[in-house]
Amino acid sequence: MSSKSKLACCCGSAGCSFCCGCCPKIRQSRSTRFMYALYFILVVVLCYVMMSNTVANEMREHIPFFEDICKGIKAGDTCEKLVGYSAVYRVCFGMACFFFLFCLLTLKVNNSKSCRAYIHNGFWFFKLLLLGAMCSGAFFIPDQETFLNAWRYVGAVGGFLFLGIQLLLLVEFAHKWNKNWTAGTAINKLWYASLSLVTLITYSIATGGLILMAVFYTQKDGCMDNKILLGVNGGLCLLISVVAISPPVQDRQPHSGLLQSGLISCYVTYLTFSALSSKPVEVVLDEHGKNVTICVPDFGQDLYRDKNLVARLGTALSCGCILYSCLTSTTRWSSDALQGRYGAPELEVARCCFCFGPGGEDAEGQQNVKEGSRVIYDEKKSTVYNYAYFHFVFFLASLYVMMTLTDWFNYESANIETLFSGSWSIFWVKMASCWICVLLYLGTLVAPLCRPSPHFSV
């Protein structure tokens, strides 16, 4: 590796694909987001380790002079200051400050030629040092008790705001999908078949999922709360479907249809399943005097007993979901949708991959490839995504990770081994998200009926 390549990776505006000739060509906008996502993953993994009793016990048993080391760095007799919910609060505080700082730094950056854009797209080694310094510095904040109590409520607000953005974008995504494919029916009637097929698939998934949950998460005697929740959420899916095709809504919003309600129903079904899976297990004595779990699938009882396996699976899935939400929430379309900017319906061009541009981006990017370079400079004219909004979403995601790992307001007894085996806090957060999603979608349907202007549409 040449010295120029090393310098490009650490200080330049290109991503680390400069350092490896075997890597495929990558756009600058994607390599930058990949690097920030990598930083995010590193801190999240560190937080998971801090919340694990198993890791703490293994370190205590296998690291020589463990207690002496802990006393030497003034972390307590058994490094208790470096583990548990308070440590996660401090580390996430540092990560949140890191992304919030870059959010302020990149406000109103429109292309990659400005000095602030160079900072956003490069200097990765120094930014890693800055992130580490911020996370470490949080352990030296005076009056820790007051800080932790105040930061907890900031985290709760930010966590709910992160969830709200994801739900709002899902509703906007459903409307955009239906509007784009409906525009294609004026040219090719096969788009009607596509709309019908996808609608049928979404309702089949939603209906099948609710039926399977009724089979595996309820029993003839008992599990009344599961039965009520399944009935309520199933009724909400039926309600939004009826409202979507009702004559008053169709008059004001011709693009409203069953595709949107079917997609929202699928998400409601997923959240219901996720919430029921997050409930603390109920244990009763059977006729032989043995402890058995009820209101959960029989094939999942062994899984619940293996707490380490549950923790590992839950860690991987939750980290992947949060990262996916961050990256999909920071596109130019997502930023425009949250600000209420929509394209004119008559300009819609029906495409299977309607979330991306109609073309031309690849050709433009290829023109900006330098000889021997592995990076495509695709932001010379304008930015592909909103830099400040990108960092703001990761700022909120840092707060959401903090609250999720520490079991929201049941933080004192939280640890990774029990977090994914069942938590009432996580259960109610997911159920609340489910109902808020339905309310947001109903709001987009009912709001135009309360406005005098007939031009309100999504």
Residue 14 and residue 373: Cα distance in Å, rounded? 10
> Are residues 170 and 267 in contact, defined by beta-carbon separation less than 8 angstroms?
yes
Q: How many helices (H) and strands (E) does the chain have?
A: 19, 4
Does the pLDDT value for residue 230 go beyond 90?
A: yes
Indicate the SS3 state at residue 440: helix
Whose CA is closest to 355, among 395, 327, 380, 379?
A: 327
CB neighbours of residue 344 within 10 Å:
6
Q: Which residues contact 127 (CB under 8 A, 6 or more apart)?
A: 39
Rounded to 5°, the CA angle 227-228-229 comes to 95
Does the pLDDT value for residue 14 go beyond 60?
A: no
- Rg of the chain (C-alpha set): 25
Does the pLDDT value for residue 340 go beyond 50?
A: yes
HSE-up (13 A, CA, CB side) for residue 446: 11
Confidence of residue 341 (pLDDT cuts 50, 70, 90): low
Does the pLDDT value for residue 95 go beyond 90?
A: yes
Q: What is the pLDDT of residue 420?
A: 64
Q: What is the pLDDT of residue 73?
A: 63
More confident residue, 29 or 432: 432
Q: Which residues contact 106 (CB under 8 A, 6 or more apart)?
A: 116, 117, 120, 387, 388, 390, 391
* Mean pLDDT in residue range 157-184: 84
Does the pLDDT value for residue 310 go beyond 70?
A: no
DSSP string, 144-202: HHHHHHHHHHHHHHHHHHHHHHHHHHHHHHHHHHHHHHHHHTTT-THHHHHHHHHHHHH
Q: Which residues contact 24 (CB under 8 A, 6 or more apart)?
A: 17, 374
Q: What is the pLDDT of residue 108?
A: 85
Does the pLDDT value for residue 269 go beyond 90?
A: yes
User: Among the listed ranges 128-137, 288-297, 390-399, which one has the minimum average pLDDT value?
Assistant: 288-297
Q: What is the pLDDT of residue 396?
A: 92
Does the pLDDT value for residue 447 go beyond 90?
A: no
By percentage, how much of the chain surpasses pLDDT 90? 24
Rounded to 5°, the CA angle 336-404-83 comes to 130
Q: What is the pLDDT of residue 366?
A: 47
More confident residue, 378 or 301: 378
> Are residues 422 and 434 in contact, defined by beta-carbon separation less than 8 angstroms?
no
Confidence of residue 278 (pLDDT cuts 50, 70, 90): confident
> Are residues 88 and 411 in contact, defined by beta-carbon separation less than 8 angstroms?
no
